[in-house]
Structure 1
Amino acid sequence: MDNGLTNTQIEQFIRDGFVRIDNAFPADDAQTVREILWQELPGTPDDPTTWTQPVIRLGMYNQGPFVRAANTAVLHRAFDQLVGAGRWIPCQSMGTFPVRFPSALDPGDTGWHVDASFPGADPADYVAWRINFRSRGRALLMLFLFSDCSEQDAPTRIRIGSHLNVASLIKEAGEEGLSFMELAGKLHELPEQNEVVAVGKAGTVYLCHPFLVHASQPHRGTEPRFLAQPPLLLRGELCIEGSPTGYMPVEAAIRLGLRL
């Protein structure tokens, strides 16, 4: 029986901006997902000479193993604990996969950033999507490991506690917030934070605060890395002030960053 996140894990989420859940979805589903993705990759899993690019991005997937991975009882319980029961939308697809390959080439996408959550003037222009201090549209950033990922396998880099500083940074921009690129250009203004990497076995999921600063990195291992970063979407809006019933951890973290 799943007892959900512990109080210590919830406190870590509020303070550090993320919590790691091992065995969040079955390793068998992770293997099936890799097999499906290999059918669309320009290479073969047993021939490294065919891995000619440092990163290849694959599109949205809604087949059974993808959707099952995102909707296990363990994850649903954690979503309820971090965001609130009935306040999030179940994932119906797994989103984009940046598949990373061992390579000496620069992947060209290793900058620190915060994922945007709602469209700007042109919804088709992702770098113009926006982030505001209420995290409009997005409840969580999620990192799904579909292959084993060691420190050599291009794990996502995470700045511990950076979500707290981001909250105060974007508060100044009001309800409209900042675009993806505008915020990325301001991250150098934030205090230095310790860094951790999102390692784990296939089936591991990192549930992250939507304001968490993170980055990719080059792959120095031997096997391709399969990871997805779907958002957990909100049904309504987060409540930052004036709640008569208290605040969920994702809201409490923003309040902590804003010193409310």
Structure 2
Amino acid sequence: MHVDSFIEDGFVHLKGAFPRALADGCREIIWRDLGADPGDPSTWPGPIAARPDHAEPPFVAAANTPRLHAAFDALVGEDRWTPRTSLGGFVIRFPADEPAVVDGWHVDVSFPGPGSSPDDYLTWRANVSSRDRALLMFFLLSDVGPDDAPTRLRIGSHRHVARVLEPEGEDGLDARELARRADAATAHLPTAQATGRAGDVYLCHPFLVHAGQPHHGTAPRFLAQPKLSPSKPLRLGLPAMSSTPVETAITQAFTH
């Protein structure tokens, strides 16, 4: 576990975080849910399909391997996160040149404000203490190469987003305003792509700016993007020796 690079870059690539066989089992269930045939492109929806939460055994097992739990402890802190009982929502990208709404640079929000609509995620909010989100995660359920619509990650963007959110207090910003400000504050940063093999997981700081992109490959890309929920609120302003990497990254954003 490269904790220093997580603090500096905002993410780590955990290779082989769960067995490939579990990824295969998850895809099989999703194909059935889609009502599509993996061997017949004429049945594929596209360019993008989103599926709701899945809590069948392969999904729960993929989210709870000993390797992942150890990584959660290292980044979020022992007893400071809540085990997953599912693998969250899914985004499946199919070969197509068409962009999608998720292709814009953004930060995932995590809690509803007083004026938020339960059915409109863009009205939800994020704040500097990352209420209700300990990590942003990308579970690769299929092999993802450079042409297979890998998620784009702005390296080090989490620090800039912390500085954007800090003056906004506990209310934070809604998804639309946060996306606008975060994009402007991080457009100069270099970009990484979340490529890898089925069974890999990208563990990201909650404030990491990221975006999708069209699929220029041949095989559909299956991605789960659950959040890791905290069991206790973040503690900001503590010395590095007393804080977790997620907390340290935010605190350092105000002093570096």
Q: TM-score scaled by structure 1?
A: 0.94
Instruction: Find the aligned partners of 1:208 and 1:244 in 2 and give their Cα distance.
Output: 19
Is the contact between residue 94 and residue 230 of structure 1 (CA under 8 Å) also seen in structure 2?
A: yes
Q: Deviations over 1:162-220 (max 9, x none)?
A: 00000001101111100111101112331410001000000000000000000000000
Instruction: Find the aligned partners of 1:20 and 1:106 in 2 and give their Cα distance.
Output: 25
Is the contact between residue 20 and residue 198 of structure 2 (CA under 8 Å) also seen in structure 1?
A: yes
Moved more, 138-147 or 99-108: 99-108
Change (3 A) 1:35 1:214: same
Deviation of 1:81 after TM superposition, in Å, equals 0.6
Deviation of 1:10 after TM superposition, in Å, equals 0.3
Is the contact between residue 144 and residue 205 of structure 1 (CA under 8 Å) also seen in structure 2?
A: yes
* Secondary structure at the counterpart of residue 36 of structure 1: helix
Moved more, 122-131 or 65-74: 122-131
Matched, 1:194 2:190: yes
Q: What is aligned with 1:98?
A: 91
Matched, 1:16 2:15: no
Deviation of 1:42 after TM superposition, in Å, equals 4.0
1:210-221 equivalence runs, <5 A: 210-221=206-217
Is the contact between residue 106 and residue 183 of structure 2 (CA under 8 Å) also seen in structure 1?
A: no
Change (3 A) 1:149 1:242: closer
Matched, 1:138 2:146: no
| Aligned partner letter, 2:10 | G
Is the contact between residue 135 and residue 228 of structure 2 (CA under 8 Å) also seen in structure 1?
A: yes
Instruction: Find the aligned partners of 2:7 and 2:147 in 1 and give their Cα distance.
Output: 28
2:68 aligned to 70, 75, 94, which one? 75
Q: Structure 2: state its 5+ residue gaps.
A: none
Deviation of 1:103 after TM superposition, in Å, equals 1.0
Q: Deviations over 1:109-143 (max 9, x none)?
A: 31000000111233332111111001011100000
Is the contact between residue 137 and residue 236 of structure 1 (CA under 8 Å) also seen in structure 2?
A: no
* Secondary structure at the counterpart of residue 172 of structure 1: helix
* Secondary structure at the counterpart of residue 136 of structure 2: strand
Percent identical pairs in the alignment equals 49
Q: Structure 1: state its 5+ residue gaps.
A: none
- State the aligned residue count: 253
Q: Deviations over 1:55-103 (max 9, x none)?
A: 0111111011001000000000010010111010000111111111001
Change (3 A) 1:12 1:244: closer
Change (3 A) 1:188 1:113: closer
Q: What is aligned with 1:64?
A: 57
Following TM superposition, where does structure 1 have runs of at least 4 consecutive aligned residues deviating by more than 3 angstroms? Answer: 242-245
* Aligned Cα root-mean-square deviation (Å): 1.4
Is the contact between residue 97 and residue 226 of structure 1 (CA under 8 Å) also seen in structure 2?
A: yes
1:43-192 equivalence runs, <5 A: 43-121=36-114, 122-191=117-186, 192=188
Moved more, 37-46 or 22-31: 37-46
Q: What is aligned with 1:258?
A: 254
| Aligned partner letter, 2:36 | G
